[in-house]
A and B are shown apart, each in its own frame.
Chain A
Amino acid sequence: MIERIQVERSSRASRFFAVVGLFLLGLLIAAPFFGNRSILYLLVEIFVYIALASLWNLLAGYTGLVSIGQQAFVGLGGYSLFALTIFTGMSPLLAVLVAGVIAALFAIPTGFVVFRFKGAYFAIGSWVVAEVYRLTFAQVSTLGGGSGTSLPVEIVRQIANSRAERDSVIYWAGLAIMVGVLTVIYLILRSRWGLALTAIRDSEAAAESVGVDNYRTKFLIYFLAAGATGSIGALISLQKLRISPDAAFSVNDWTAFVIFIVVIGGIGRIEGPFIGTILFFILREFFADLGSWYLMFLGLFAIVMMLIMPKGIAGWLAERFDLQIFPLGRRIILPKDKQIAFSQFKTPETSEKRSTTKVNDD
Chain B
Amino acid sequence: MDLAATLLDGVLLGGLYALFAAGLSLIFGVMRLVNIAHGDLILLSAFVALTVTAYFRIHPLFSLLLVVPLMALLGYALQRAVFNRTLGEDILPPLLVSFGLSVFLQNALLQIFRADSQRLHAGPLETWHIDLPFGITMGALPFLMFIVAVLVIGGLQLLLYRTALGRALRAVSDDGEIAQVMGINNAHLYGVAMAISLAVVSVAGVFLGIRANFDPSIGPTRLIFAFEAIIIGGLGDLWGTLAGGVILGVAQALGGRINPGYQILAGHLVFLAILTVRPQGFFPRTR
- A residues within 8 Å of B by Cβ? 60, 66, 68, 112-113, 116, 119-121, 123-125, 127-129, 131-132, 135-136, 138-139, 251, 256, 259-260, 263, 267, 291-293, 295-296, 298-303, 306-307, 310
Contacts and interface: CB of A to CB of B under 8 A. Distances in A.
Contacts of A66: 91-92, 95
A132 B268 contact: yes
**Secondary structure at chain B's binding surface: helix, strand, loop or mixed?**
helix
B268 A128 contact: yes
Given A66-B95, A267-B92, A306-B93, A299 B85 contact: no
A293 B112 CA distance: 11
A129 B272 contact: yes
Contacts, number: 117
Nearest to B34: A120
24 contacts: A66-B91, A120-B94, A121-B231, A123-B34, A124-B36, A124-B223, A125-B275, A128-B228, A128-B268, A131-B221, A135-B264, A263-B96, A267-B92, A291-B111, A292-B108, A293-B111, A299-B104, A299-B105, A302-B97, A303-B82, A303-B97, A306-B96, A307-B82, A307-B85
B224 A131 contact: yes
Contacts of B228: 128
B101 interface: yes
B78 to A, nearest CB: 11
B268 A60 contact: no
B269 interface: yes
Main SS of the interface on chain A? Answer: helix
B99 A300 contact: no
Nearest to A127: B224
8 closest Cβ pairs, A-B complex: A299-B104, A302-B100, A120-B34, A299-B103, A292-B107, A303-B100, A295-B107, A135-B265
A128 B92 CA distance: 19
Given A120-B34, A124-B223, A251-B220, A306 B100 contact: yes
Given A112-B276, A113-B275, 14 more contacts: A68-B99, A116-B276, A116-B279, A121-B34, A127-B220, A132-B268, A135-B268, A295-B107, A298-B100, A299-B102, A299-B103, A302-B103, A307-B82, A310-B93
B97 A307 contact: yes
Centre residue among A260, A267, A303 by max chain B CB count within 10 A: A303
Interface residues of B, number: 44
A40 B267 CA distance: 43
A113 B276 contact: yes
Contacts of B107: 292-293, 295-296, 299
B271 interface: yes
A335 B104 CA distance: 53
Nearest to A262: B96
A119 B91 contact: yes
B111 A307 contact: no
B110 interface: yes
B157 interface: no
Given A131-B224, A299-B101, A120 B91 contact: yes
Given A263-B96, A302-B103, A307-B97, A124 B34 contact: yes
Q: Which of B94, B99, B261 has most A Cβ within 10 Å?
A: B99
B135 to A, nearest CB: 33
B47 interface: no
B86 interface: yes
B99 A302 contact: yes
B87 to A, nearest CB: 12
Interface of B: 32-34, 36, 82, 85-86, 91-97, 99-108, 110-111, 220-221, 223-224, 227-228, 231, 261-262, 264-265, 268-269, 271-272, 275-276, 279
Contacts of A267: 92
Contact of B99 (A139, A259, A293, A301): A259
B265 A302 contact: no
A307 B97 CA distance: 8
Nearest to B273: A113
B108 A131 contact: no
Q: Which of A251, A267, A307 has the most CB of B within 10 A?
A: A307
Given A128-B227, A307-B85, A298 B95 contact: no
Query: Taking each of A116, A123, A292, which has the highest tally of chain B beta carbons within 10 Å of its own beta carbon?
Result: A292
B103 A256 contact: yes
A146 B279 CA distance: 32
Contacts of B82: 303, 307
A96 B175 CA distance: 51
A110 B41 CA distance: 29
Contacts of B97: 302-303, 306-307
Nearest to B268: A132
A296 B111 contact: yes
A74 B97 CA distance: 24
A307 B126 CA distance: 45
Contact of A128 (B108, B110, B262, B271): B271
B41 to A, nearest CB: 14
Contacts of A124: 34, 36, 223-224, 227
B99 A256 contact: yes
A123 B95 contact: yes
B95 to A, nearest CB: 5
A132 B272 contact: yes
A296 B91 contact: no
A300 B107 CA distance: 11
Nearest to A119: B91
A260 B265 CA distance: 28
The interface centre, meaning the residue of B91, B94, B271 with most chain A CB atoms within 10 A of its CB, is B91
A299 B100 contact: yes
Contact of B103 (A112, A131, A295): A295
